[in-house]
Amino acid sequence: MPQEIIVGHDITPFVSAYPWSASGFGARFANPSALPGSTCYSVSPTLGAVVLGSITVPGIAAYAFSSGGWGSKYSSPAVTPGASYGVSYHPSGNYIAATGSASPRIHAYLWSASGFGTKFANPSTIPTGQAYAIDFAESQVITAHATTPYTSAYPWSASGFGTKFANPGSLPPSDCYSVSFSSSYSEVVLGHSTTPHLSAYPWSATGFGTKFANASPLPGSVNSVRIKNNIMAVAISGTPFLRIYGWSSSGYGSAYSSPSSLAAGVGNNTTASNQIALAHTTTPFVSAWDIGYVTKFANPSTLPAGNGQSVAFTPETTPGDATGAGVGVAIVSAEGNATGTIVASGGGMLLLGVG
275 CA to centre of own chain: 16
The per-residue pLDDT for range 139-191, each reduced to its tens digit, is 999 999 999 999 999 999 999 999 999 999 999 999 999 999 999 999 999 99
Q: What single letter denotes the amino acid at residue 61?
A: A
Amino acid 2: pLDDT: 60
Q: How many domains does the chain have?
A: 1
Torsion sign (Cα): 150, 59, 95, 315: negative
Torsion sign (Cα): 71, 72, 78, 82: positive
Residue numbers in the chain where pLDDT is lower than 50: 1, 318-355
Which CATH number fits the domain that encloses residue 134? 2.130.10.10
Amino acid 338: pLDDT: 27
Torsion of CA 85, 89, 90, 92, to 10 degrees: 180
List residues bridging with 193 in a β-sheet: none
The residues near 36 (Cβ < 8 Å, ≥ 6 apart) are 13, 14, 15, 52, 54, 61, 352, 354
285 DSSP 8-state letter: S
Please state the φ and ψ torsions of residue 118, each to the nearest 5 degrees.
-65, 140
| Cα 298 from Cα 301, distance rounded (Å) | 8
Residue numbers of the domain that contains 208: 3-353
The per-residue pLDDT for range 77-104, each reduced to its tens digit, is 999 998 889 999 999 999 999 998 899 9
Amino acid 229: pLDDT: 87
